[in-house]
Structure 1
């Protein structure tokens, strides 16, 4: 499905304020960027770099006063996400070098303190994908989604104790429980079609059977039509804006809508394809 997605951020800066922005998705697995538009008012110099996780980041200095950012994109997304029940655990000694650090505790994901809970949640599960799915399901069934119950300092340990939070907290807990089992896990932020209520979203990926799989503890079933913006160890690595000075966010709007895809033009030379022959031995 093609999606039109974007956000508008309105700030008030008390003085010149350096910012790092992380708002641009890039083409990759499950998504292709068809069009994008970036507007900053007032106009300022922008430089872009790629961070250690492969995320596109923009550096700006906001002048004193009102400052707004508008980003929108049209993205071709996958309607489904891959699932693989029974996919085996990847031993630590076989992990790629750039995946190893996703097994370690991080600021919001104190996996070294959640080993007992991880073992309890995944008991009788085969090591690998089935353990991660048991974690995702346990969080979905036992943690209540509720705005205003957590803040920027809430960690996975806090969420495990209070059993309430938002998508960021669900994600931190899922990552921590995976890492407690030596399964690499990373945070993903971006957009999800038909998210209710609509907002920027967070989920996690776990590395099993030699690849990354998507898990979202806020959803009942696996859902596609996602736009990934950034990856990281936890929320500290994937903030959409990081400011270095006094600056307040006055308003934020987020949207994700199905785009109208133009119907392909039929040419006289087009030949109908019979679905019964696709992939068969008599396919021409």
Structure 2
């Protein structure tokens, strides 16, 4: 499915403030960027780099006063995500070098403190994909989704204890429980079609049987039509904006809509042959 996804952020900077932005998705196995638009007001110099996880990052300095960022893209997404019940565990000694760091504890994912819970959840489950799925299902059934119950300092241990949180917290807990079983796991942030309520979204991927698989503990069943923006160890690596100074976020809007209606209108107005509007794919298999 083709999706129009984007966000608009409005800030008020008390002083000129350096920013790192992470808003541009990349084309990959599960998505193709057809069109994108980036607007920054007032206009400032922008430089772009690729971080150690392969994410596209932009550096700007916001001037004092109101500052807005508008990003939108049309993306061909995979309608389904790959599932593979019974896929075997990949032994640590066989993991690619670039995947090893996803087995370690990180700032928000204290996997070294959640081994007992991970073992309890996955007792009697075959090592590998089935363990990751058991973790996803347990979080979905046992952690309450509720806004305003966590903040930027909430960790996986906090969520395990409090049994409440939002997608960020569900993801940190899933990552931590997988890592506690020596299953590499990473955080993914982006957009999900028909997410309710609409917002920027987070989920996790686990590395089993020599590849990455998608798991989303906020959803009852596997869902495709995702637009991935960034990968990382946890939320510290995948912030959409990182500011270095006094700056307040005044407003944020997020949207994900189907682009099919626009395509139909465009075809009516054009005598050109329509472009290919279907694709197949799975989540990004880059091991970074």
How far apart are residue 267 of structure 1 and its match?
Answer: 10
**3-state SS of the aligned residue for 2:98?**
coil
Consecutive aligned runs of 4 or more in structure 1 exceeding 3 Å deviation: 261-268
With over 3 angstroms needed to count, the CA separation of the structure-2 counterparts of 1:44 and 1:127, relative to structure 1, is: same
1:58 has 2:32 as partner? no
Task: Specify the alignment match of 1:278 in structure 2.
Answer: none
Which segments of 5 or more consecutive residues in structure 1 lack a partner in the other structure? 269-284
Task: Specify the alignment match of 1:89 in structure 2.
Answer: 89
Q: How many residues align?
A: 268
Q: TM-score, normalised by structure 2?
A: 0.91
With over 3 angstroms needed to count, the CA separation of the structure-2 counterparts of 1:169 and 1:267, relative to structure 1, is: closer
Whole-Å separation in 2 of the counterparts to 1:208 and 1:13: 44
How far apart are residue 221 of structure 1 and its match?
Answer: 0.1
Whole-Å separation in 2 of the counterparts to 1:121 and 1:238: 28
Task: Specify the alignment match of 2:178 in structure 1.
Answer: 178
Whole-Å separation in 2 of the counterparts to 1:80 and 1:266: 32
1:22 has 2:40 as partner? no
Which segments of 5 or more consecutive residues in structure 2 lack a partner in the other structure? 274-288
Whole-Å separation in 2 of the counterparts to 1:42 and 1:209: 48
1:1-284 equivalences under 5 Å are: 1-260=1-260, 261-262=263-264
Whole-Å separation in 1 of the counterparts to 2:87 and 2:49: 36
Whole-Å separation in 2 of the counterparts to 1:52 and 1:175: 19
**3-state SS of the aligned residue for 1:99?**
helix
Whole-Å separation in 1 of the counterparts to 2:60 and 2:28: 26
Whole-Å separation in 2 of the counterparts to 1:127 and 1:164: 27
Whole-Å separation in 1 of the counterparts to 2:40 and 2:259: 24
How far apart are residue 208 of structure 1 and its match?
Answer: 0.2
Whole-Å separation in 2 of the counterparts to 1:266 and 1:98: 48
**3-state SS of the aligned residue for 2:202?**
strand
CA deviations 1:94-129 (Å, max 9, x no partner) are 000000000000000000000000000000000000
**3-state SS of the aligned residue for 2:186?**
strand
